[in-house]
Amino acid sequence: MRTASERQRRPIPRLAAEGQERQHTEAVPFFDRRQTVSGVGRGKQRRLYDQRKAELIPASGLRLVVIHKAESTVRADRIARAPERDLAVVRARLALKVNPLR
């Protein structure tokens, strides 16, 4: 077990993590069927928000880590929990210096 002074020396990760499902990378009628209050389509709004996150989060001194659903084990269009694989995906994503949204 580490002492209190050893724990204090360890830097705190400054990151924002997001899990993204397929509506972030392709048109999905279920999610895109309505307009927003501002009159912009949901798909377009989502792309704008994703772009803003990619710009503003790093500008705030945080690292944006995006994990796509396709990186997980998927069965019948649902994420099937596989703890060892899930952990490997997260570790790999955290190890990357650049984390592209797409």
pLDDT in tens, 47-101: 899 999 999 999 999 999 998 888 888 888 888 888 998 899 888 888 876 545 4
Rg (CA), the chain: 17
Residue 89: Cβ-neighbour burial (10 angstroms; 0-12, 13-18, 19+): middle
* Beta-strand pair 63-68/15-20: parallel
Closest by Cα among 54, 68, 70 to 16 = 54
Summarised one tens digit per residue, pLDDT across range 16-55 is 988 888 888 888 888 888 888 888 888 888 889 999 999 9
